[in-house]
């Protein structure tokens, strides 16, 4: 039909290409999703327990963040015999910028709601003290607070990206695409958000 009209070029890792097409019958969205969730629960439960019963969560938090990533890798290997379908390509600059800025936006909105509603206090002094003591450098007051905030918003993001990659591989690279194969955009967003939030509840409630 006139120069390939109506054709769609599939990129590497999309469902229906490569090994995923050869395993199409077995790698159903439901099976892959359930396998991923079960593996994530099995891998993260011991770490949640250690965090809940230990003195500090910092010793285990990075390992915990990688449990969804390990579960995604295992699930992908189990169903497709490869890991090409986990979105390893770097995204467009505008999406990378949005991914960097949007967390600041919605975190600010949540904190503002908490402060305005009175659910939690606005502890400027406590925040300034934390920012001034956690950065790996010492500056005369009041520079530590501003410098530390800038440090954590730039270099701190890069140095912790290796840990957050684990969650991104699990929730975004595997769970979201598999849900999208079966559900609408809205349902996919709600279901993935529910799974993500439920997984974080023990850490939020029990960690120090």
DSSP 181: T
Distance (Å, whole) CA 136 – CA 20: 46
60/208 Cα distance (integer angstroms): 12
Is 154 part of a structural domain of the chain? yes
How far is residue 176 CA from its own chain's centroid?
11
Condensed to tens digits (0 to 9), the pLDDT of residues 27-57 reads 588 999 999 999 999 999 998 888 878 755 6
Q: Is residue 1 a part of any domain in this protein?
A: no
Higher confidence at residue 199 or residue 89?
Answer: 199
Cα(163)–Cα(137) distance, integer angstroms: 23
Total structural domains within the chain: 1
Answer yes or no: is 6 within a domain.
Answer: no
Flag whether 49 is in a domain. yes
Q: Is residue 10 part of a domain?
A: no
Residue 4 lies in a domain: no
Chain mean pLDDT for the chain:
79
Task: Give the residue numbers spanning the domain of 133.
Answer: 18-206
The DSSP secondary-structure symbol of 172 reads: I
Residue 7 lies in a domain: no
pLDDT over 90 percentage in the chain: 34
Taking the C-alpha atoms of residue 119 and residue 162, their distance in angstroms, rounded to an integer, is: 33
Q: Please say whether the beta carbons of 75 and 174 come within 8 A.
A: yes
Of residues 152 and 66, more confidence is placed in: 66
- Over residues 67-99, the pLDDT tens digits come to 999 999 999 999 988 888 788 888 889 988 998
CA atoms in the 13 A half-sphere facing the CB of 125: 0
The predicted model gives 10-20 an average pLDDT of 42
Which two structure tokens, joined as six digits, stand for 173?
A: 């690279």
Does residue 196 lie within any of the structural domains?
A: yes
């Amino acid at each position: 039909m006139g120069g390939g009209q109506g054709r769609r070029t599939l990129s590497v890792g999309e469902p229906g290409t490569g090994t995923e097409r050869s395993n199409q019958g077995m790698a159903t969205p439901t099976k892959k999703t359930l396998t991923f969730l079960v593996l994530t629960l099995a891998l993260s439960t011991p770490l949640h327990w250690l965090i809940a019963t230990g003195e500090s969560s910092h010793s285990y938090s990075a390992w915990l963040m990688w449990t969804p990533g390990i579960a995604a890798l295992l699930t992908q290997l189990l169903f497709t015999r490869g890991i090409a379908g986990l979105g390893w390509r770097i995204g467009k600059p505008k999406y990378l910028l949005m991914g960097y800025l949007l967390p600041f936006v919605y975190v600010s909105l949540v904190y503002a709601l908490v402060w305005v509603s009175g659910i939690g206090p606005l502890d400027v002094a406590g925040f300034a003290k934390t920012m001034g003591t956690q950065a790996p450098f010492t500056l005369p007051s009041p520079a530590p607070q501003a410098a530390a905030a800038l440090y954590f918003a730039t270099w701190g993001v890069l140095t912790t990206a290796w840990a957050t990659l684990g969650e991104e591989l699990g929730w975004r690279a595997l769970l979201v695409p598999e849900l999208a194969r079966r559900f609408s955009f809205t349902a996919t967003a709600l279901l993935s958000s529910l799974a993500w939030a439920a997984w974080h509840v023990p850490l939020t409630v029990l960690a120090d």
